[in-house]
A and B are shown apart, each in its own frame.
Chain A
């Protein structure tokens, strides 16, 4: 979908990911919203439309009761792990369409120690003898994303160690991200020797659950100039669903929906993958990051493992991938994730990323996969 006019990101806010049993999800979202408003030099009076992403509950209006009851339209969004980025896309289009001049997308989630995801849905059966999990393969998230890694292995000979290198890079990057849930560098041996969750992903190759929130403020060109903010152009905000594939019966797609979103993103933004300096992509598991290098065009098909070994995705490399530490270290509070990936790229393009700064970053994207399947790609240009 083509935007009717240019859109800029004028303010972002994010809380440090972690586990906050003493706080509510409204507390977390409030902190993110207030930070974003200050960043944009705005108050809630300036926000004309709000989209709130949260998988657990529709908290948008409750957030407004905490930050400012202006009476503007609030829509609650849920789109699996792509919930926060889908909410941001709603805010983007509120401005891009010309309907509103300033809009806010919020992502929030409080999961605590949720453990393996999908259990509730999979256990829902009148007679437990008919639950397919474990006797008819698996629909849990770790095996599904592991299977996509092993599919890459079948096609290109990718190894367990190749996948572990993804986690090595991201944990190393996380040390410089004060917003990350875990800031701990680990050796390849520690990563490969950790408890196996679902081969080939060990514990340190799986993202943690937790709590978090982020908020993104979008504005028209006129409004962006008026507030004198450090505006960054939101060059494309794409959402796709999975196209038909022969495997769609058996395993939820993460590849084709990403490739489709990437094609639409380049067409809309008028730039290509070779111009990306920083990328936050959906590394819910180490195996997922490997396939997305190629899905996003950052490496030719089959070359992801080599590009990774050569350091091309390191901070200071050709394109820094998950300089934030990614979901593997930053954490993955489902509804919050999408908004926070956008914030990370924005900070990079403003040169505000401190020790995790990609030198001279001018363009970047944030990619999210939600397993239902949904893919979002947000392209930003300084």
Chain B
């Protein structure tokens, strides 16, 4: 018998597109971004860190969970991109209350400057959705932000 037939068919999984997006398996929890906070100066980073680029402390960082909500700092409506990238899309930068920022697409709104400009400086919330399917058939999950209504 060949080894290949011994292998159980893999179950299709959900996989985060980046390591700092965590997808909890517990139904009561929701996807979130995690990172590191410097115990010396409070600077926050996405993902794991060995050193603080702000105060230069080393081995003094703790894991943190970032808030779901942030502030829309800036965006661009991208009309021209790489082959295979769907355009237009809204490429946004979100400020998080922990003192870091993230790069993400803005969803839940038309890519129209007249609608987007008034949202600058307002609250947005994170959500996760399937973006693509990988070579092994797993769903690739991304995080996005959308305006908070009201």
Contacts and interface: CB of A to CB of B under 8 A. Distances in A.
Interface of A: 116, 119, 122-123, 127-130, 132-140, 142-144, 146-148, 150-151, 153-154, 160, 195-201, 244, 246-251
A138 B132 CA distance: 17
Which of A139, A143, A197 neighbours the largest number of chain B CB atoms within 10 Å of its CB?
A: A143
A160 B18 contact: no
B142 A198 contact: no
B76 A244 contact: no
Interface SS majority for chain B: strand
A137 B85 CA distance: 11
A21 B79 CA distance: 29
A251 B78 contact: no
B17 A132 contact: yes
Given A137-B93, A153-B117, A129 B132 contact: yes
Given A135-B17, A136-B104, A247-B95, A142 B80 contact: yes
Contact of A147 (B17, B86, B93, B102): B93
Contacts of B92: 137
Given A244-B53, A250-B101, A251-B101, A198 B82 contact: no
Given A147-B93, A153-B120, A244-B54, A134 B82 contact: yes
Contacts, number: 134
A200 B80 contact: no
Interface of B: 17-18, 43, 45-46, 53-54, 73-82, 84-87, 89, 91-95, 99-105, 113, 117, 120-121, 131-135, 140, 142-143
Given A127-B135, A130-B134, A137 B103 contact: yes
A132 B91 CA distance: 11
State the 9 A-B residue pairs at the shortest beta-carbon distance, nearest first: A134-B85, A146-B76, A137-B103, A199-B77, A138-B91, A250-B101, A129-B134, A154-B120, A151-B74
B81 A199 contact: no
